[in-house]
Structure 1
């Protein structure tokens, strides 16, 4: 409705600029744009903005050649033009020639807007015998509103610059089925000052025989009519129309050739069915977000969702026979590896053959590769199947030697975050839960590999425990791979292992074909929002900014559901609550589905708890409902280091958070321990925050408080264990969460789009220009993974926030990306 109101306002504004008297009539809309087989916004490319300058904002980049012939002499070209649109800019050169007169026209225009409403303006100039054809220089403004996939309304205002002529053109298109299978249209052109009843008009329709093939008919008030056929072949298309005069006698023909953006084409689908293979390079670490510069300069797939989306689209395309993945250099976490493996299985279920290449592979990489129909290993590659381990560096002895004391206020049995600072080994509770998740990692991989490669438990365990390091010949003998070869010989590998003759389809081309659409308007949106990193106000997850992003996303009319992807070990409870509250508010208006990545523990679970449904991988680490706090202070460090310290204060406890600056850590160390009264008060605050956390989980998960307490106390659960205890609803990755959002929002599978809201994080990403050792002093895992020290980062976090309690996982719990 707002788009239609804007359209009316635009028309009224143009009317105020117009004159009511004209001295000489310029060529009308129907004679000026007689190459059209329909109103410009109803069917096809509409001369790329030549007739309505708003159109380029609604269509892909296009180049068209159009021409017409007189009578039955198809070599006698009377009108010809080249029309193009690129990124909202439109340009055209046209020529008309009849009876010895010739005129050339030029067009340049600019359009902008959305798929629901666009406006444009253009200048058209003419030379030669232009008066013979009524061609006068003109300014053209236009607007097109497509409030739904059923309706398109266009308005054009032509202003003669050499005469006083003003012409209004209105057009409307209706698709009763909401698709291009049937389109009916009509238009009318009226000069200012003319009676509406005398205005010429046309009506017609288009029937889609199959996607990409349309029959078009148009009837004019003069009783003339035209019949045409349009055929699209992906990025190219042809069209023709036969035109009949008011006496219904054949008068002329018009033809067109289109190049540019892909359009749906059943013919191309049929011809290329099973004739393509898609290559997916997945080296390095797959991030969730990237800088704008990285997005512009990226070659191939660099983000996790892009990889999932490419696999899904390859599986859905009838053209794609084989999906070939290069996992050389891939470093990935167990939960994300499981998600990629699930996506590959879905592609296989749709009939796509999967071939995977590995060279140096470990447990996570091989977990992905094992699902393939054909696993190929470099002849000099190495497979390391060593199982999983979780270790911890303990600093109690070091801190004691240098005179830094740590007081661990451990009020909850499994909230073990400070163990790294005040112990020399794992507590029983910590050892128990670490062993549980290591077992889950191992058993998930073992179960999947056994199913895909036909192994039994004993064989797999023997490979891990007795062989561990396998060269290509060893791996092939063990039944872990199907052959050897080099990635540079991919074509030969495909011929040998898959068979059939296929040509490569790039990821960009695959995405373009997937996006090819002749639909009107824009489909409803499922917004994918990322909450990545520690729950901090202005760093990590950037909670203040993220909460506002969630609210503004929920306020959008086109957004019908939110999928929130969280991968976070927690941190500041205030930051976590800001995000959780924003998600709860959003859930009052639309479905909010939570997708947990590798880690969604403590504060990472806090931000998850109000989701309508929580998805996790079997190897996700989640839960850790508890609070941690302690006191790290100077207990001889300053004396040994030769530091002196003095303070002036007003307030009995003002000195509590002042002290010595510790080199390298970049934190201030309190100069004294807490008094008993100060500690008692802080512990009461910890208990209160814990009760708030437990109550929030109970409310968000529809559980009673006592049942939450039995799974809380800081316990970390794998995704499978969390599901058994009601903390997680469904085992599934990001695609499954998106599908759940679509179902919950009751959206048509064929009429919905997924939009990543905050996939771009920053513009440059300057951190990548800083040497890694220097980055390590100031950066977190996302920015300096090669030198990231979780214990040092944890000490810095605790010291910076004390005495305030935190909702955070112990250091090192999140498994680092590895092969």
Structure 2
């Protein structure tokens, strides 16, 4: 411990949590020399007016020590030490009250408030400063789902926090079903750590209520409502719009359940696909019902009746035992404190003061993007494989491009600090060749380091292909997976060109040279050749799945044909190993790598900034066009429809490039 003063002073420092009081001692001179030069430390136990503590008294003097002055100083220190505590507090009227309040609050139970709002992404792609958000008039960006889970786990181990309040009042709260399942397990850890949990609902839907069902007590405002529909599935069909526009589809596929083709070829869903989707949605809804009923101790059939009734007033919700208390609007904290039965300390995250940036600092932040978190001890890397799978050498927003992805996998293989890897897949699939490039790189990584596959909300078709590396596969009950099927599709616009007075003339040596022209459909001979190509890739797909899952091709064939399965169904069929999320996958791979608790978790690949993604002076502007959403696309996305897949199929059709074989799950499918 040290103290430093100006001139000759005494610093009285009572303990770690008290302030330092300074008392001046007249300086002296003797024989032309400073009367200073010793360090005197007086340490003793005493009982203060707050609590027993050790008091350190320090005298610092520079130079030669005068014995008489030192004696006088020690006398003064002793006097102050015994008598100055109360007067010192009186000199600062707020000090005693503040210290007493701090001690009093230390005895109060602490309640941590967690406000959940907006969309949560497994691995948010937007950098800290997103220029597109600036241009579109907002700075909203998805929150990190796994940061949220880590925060909840930290609270479970925090002895200073006894209660947690989940504020679920935001109407913007969005989680997918796989995230809901994982989040419920983290909330269960709080209860396992003997933390009391509360949920606050206002106008709540299924997402809000599924989270709340994991808490000990659910409060609902008397002005709210509760809407609990069963799950439903919607798909967007383009056939009638194509007829109006003058566009036609040429296609080949394997199996009658490859729903990715139907939106382009049929005005409505086929009956066999509808029956299959009904069974799949039933399994997913059953998993959600089980989760809610387990938390609320409700009967399964009773809750299915609740879903059928759907809409509840606060009073009706309490009568149905869906909520515990109906309280006045805006009284969440008062209601929690009343139930706890004593005054509480409210703990909220500290708000940082916004930093003002100059124009050049702002531009620098935008261009720099987020900083990569490097491992400084043995680590498990979470490799995020998100988006439609495409061939290419440059990254594209919301796409999983083969070249950069293979490079990221190779870097993990060569990084000595990374002891194990979890490949987290959120992909509907895409190009067959790109899928194989990524799968082969993963297989090579798995031969070098312990590797586990974790499926997010969607890991289907090409997304399932890249999981076939012979390693354990985890999926949530609500994950969409499977879709083991292949198709090829070309869109042509001959009638549309004719409508607007355009005629495309071509000179060719063979008819097949115009097979990919935008003005005509495939001939029967071209269609037959494409069918053979698709079937060849499909046979390879079946064998790949059989080898990875240790099944026979004859066992895989009946569950393939493009059929999409829920995670729970896939686990029963042998397409995945275990039901669980990223937390389970991390625990399994860390155990295999013999890592001690406290290992570091890093996320890869590092997301690049907006400007890093684009070569503004290059030849292609496809990436820029793909990132700028027109108004119609923006509204469809708000409704849950992602048009990136059909738009990429259109782009491929008009590119003039050789025909491509696709491993894609059904497009435009929304589950609510």
Shift of 1:486: 6.7
Equivalent position SS for 2:667:
coil
Distance 1:594 1:273 in 2: 46
C-alpha distance in 2 between matches for 1:453 and 1:348: 14
Taking the aligned partners of 1:776 and 1:766, their CA distance within structure 2 comes to: 20
Q: Which residue of 1 aligns with 2:650?
A: 799
TM-score, normalization: structure 2?
0.72
User: Cα distance 1:779–1:556, how it changes in 2: closer, same or farther (>3 A)?
Assistant: farther
* Secondary structure of residue in 1 paired with 2:661: coil
* Residue pairs, 1:373-392, within 5 angstroms: 373-392=216-235
Q: Which one is further off, 592-601 or 443-452?
A: 443-452
CA–CA distance in structure 2, aligned partners of residues 564 and 295 of structure 1: 26
Check whether the contact 1:617–1:731 (CA below 8 A) recurs between aligned residues.
Answer: yes
Q: 1:761 to 1:736 in 2, by over 3 A?
A: farther
For residues 486 and 525 of structure 1, do their structure 2 counterparts lie closer, same or farther at Cα, with a shift above 3 Å needed?
A: farther
Question: Residues 459 and 528 from structure 1, CA distance in 2 versus in 1: closer, same or farther, beyond 3 angstroms?
Answer: same
Q: Which residue of 588, 594, 602 maps to 1:746?
A: 594
Q: Which residue does 2:114 correspond to in 1? A: 280
| Counterpart residue number, 1:291 | 126
Across the aligned residues of Structure 1 and Structure 2, the Cα RMSD in angstroms comes to 4.1
- 2:577 aligned residue: 729
Gaps of 5+ in 1: 1-34, 36-65, 78-97, 103-131, 133-227, 229-236, 243-267, 510-520, 659-669
Relative distance call for 1:524 and 1:650 in structure 2 (3 A) is farther
Cα distance change, pair 640–301 in 1 and its aligned pair in 2 (3 A): closer
Q: Deviations over 1:362-403 (max 9, x none)?
A: 223211211111112232222111212113343333433443
1:480 maps to 2:342: no
Conserved? CA contact 2:250–2:522, under 8 Å: no
> Which residue pairs with 1:418 in the alignment?
261
Cα distance change, pair 719–636 in 1 and its aligned pair in 2 (3 A):
same
Find 1:302's aligned residue among 137, 143, 149. 143
Asked if the contact 1:281/1:325 (under 8 Å) is kept, the reply is: yes
Using the alignment, how far apart are the partners of 2:274 and 2:404 within structure 1? Answer: 37
Shift of 1:652: 5.3
Matches within 5 A, 1:293-692: 293-294=128-129, 302-327=143-168, 328-329=170-171, 330-466=173-309, 468-485=310-327, 488-507=330-349, 522-537=376-391, 538-539=395-396, 540-610=399-469, 612-634=471-493, 636-649=495-508, 653-658=512-517, 670-692=518-540
| Residue in 1 that maps onto 2:668 | 812
Given that 2:428 and 2:462 are in contact with CA atoms closer than 8 Å, whether structure 1 keeps it comes out as yes
Q: For 1:240 and 1:688, locate their aligned partners in 2 and report how far apart those are by CA, in whole Å.
A: 83
Taking the aligned partners of 2:333 and 2:11, their CA distance within structure 1 comes to 49
Output the CA distance in 1 between the equivalents of 2:529 and 2:577. Answer: 37
CA distance in 1, matches of 2:446, 2:56: 51
- Rounded to whole Å, the distance in 2 between the matches of 1:752 and 1:241 is 43
1:685-733 CA distances to partner (integer Å, 9 max, x unpaired)?
2112112222322333333333222322111111111111221111111
C-alpha distance in structure 1 between counterparts of 2:503 and 2:142, whole Å? 54
Matches of 1:542 and 1:654, distance apart in 2:
29
Q: Measure how far apart 1:499 and its partner are.
A: 4.0
Q: Does 1:709 align with 2:557?
A: yes
Post-superposition offset of 1:596: 1.0
What residue is the counterpart of 1:141 in the other structure?
none
| Distance in 1 (alpha carbons) for counterparts of 2:585 and 2:634 | 28
Give the Cα–Cα distance (whole angstroms) in 2 for the partners of residues 491 and 295 of structure 1. 35
Offset of 1:240 from its aligned partner? 8.8
Map of 1:61-210 to 2, 5 A cutoff? 66-67=2-3, 75=10
Distance, in Å, in 2 between the alignment partners of 1:759 and 1:311 is: 24
Do 1:407 and 1:631's aligned partners in 2 also have CA atoms closer than 8 Å? Answer: yes
d(CA) in 2 for partners of 1:559 and 1:273?
A: 43
Asked whether the 8 Å contact 1:282–1:301 carries over to 2, the reply is: no
1:718 partnered with 2:577: no
Contact 1:594 1:611 in 2 (8 A): no
Choose between structure 1 and 2: higher helix proportion. 2
Q: 1:209-237: CA deviations, max 9, x gaps?
A: xxxxxxxxxxxxxxxxxxx9xxxxxxxx9
Match of 2:603 among 735, 756, 767: 756
Rounded Cα–Cα distance in structure 2 between residues aligned with 1:477 and 1:76? 65
Structure 1 contact 375–483 (Cα < 8 Å) conserved:
yes
CA distance in 2, matches of 1:759, 1:286: 18
Deviation at 1:648, TM superposition (A): 4.3
Instruction: Say which SS state the counterpart of residue 293 (structure 1) adopts.
Output: coil
1: distance between equivalents of 2:292 and 2:147?
Answer: 25
The 3-state SS of whatever aligns with 1:713 is coil
Distance 1:365 1:317 in 2: 25
Given the two structures, how large is their TM-score scaled by the length of structure 1? 0.60
Q: Which residue of 2 aligns with 1:249?
A: none
**CA 1:277 to 1:795, structure 2 compared with 1: closer, same or farther past 3 Å?**
same
- The change in CA–CA distance for 1:752 and 1:428 in structure 2 (over 3 A counts) is same
| Cα contact 1:526–1:560 (8 A) shared by 2 | yes
How big is the shift at 1:744? 1.4
Q: Does the Cα contact within 8 Å between 2:641 and 2:670 map onto a contact in 1?
A: no
Distance 1:542 1:320, change over 3 A: farther
1:624–1:714 Cα contact (<8 Å) kept? yes
- Residue 423 of structure 2: SS of its match in structure 1? strand
Separation of aligned partners in 2, 1:425 and 1:543: 34
Q: Distance in 1 between matches of 2:416 and 2:610?
A: 27
Structure 1 position 420, deviation (Å): 1.3
User: Kindly tell me: are residues 612 and 389 of structure 1, through their superposed partners in 2, closer, same or farther at Cα, counting changes over 3 Å?
Assistant: same
Higher strand share: 1
Closer/same/farther in 2, CA of residues 738 and 380 from structure 1, 3 Å limit:
same
Q: Which has the higher contact order (CA 8 A, sep 6+)?
A: 2
Supply the distance in 2 between the matched residues of 1:551 and 1:564 (Cα, whole angstroms). 13
Deviation digits for residues 232-283 of structure 1 (CA, Å, limit 9, x no counterpart): xxxxx999999xxxxxxxxxxxxxxxxxxxxxxxxx9xx9699432222211
Contact 2:546/2:556 (<8 A) preserved: yes
Aligned mates of 1:492, 1:307 — CA distance in 2? 25
Superposed displacement of residue 748, structure 1: 0.7
Q: Indicate whether 1:786 and 2:638 are aligned.
A: yes
- C-alpha distance in 1 between matches for 2:647 and 2:511: 26
Residue 477 of structure 1 deviates from its aligned partner by: 1.8
The alpha-carbon deviation at position 761 of structure 1 amounts to: 4.7
Which stretch of the first structure deviates more once superposed, 670-679 or 645-654?
645-654
Provide, for residues 310-364 of structure 1, a one-character-per-residue CA deviation record: whole Å limited to 9, x for no partner.
1111112222212221222212222211111121112211212221122222223
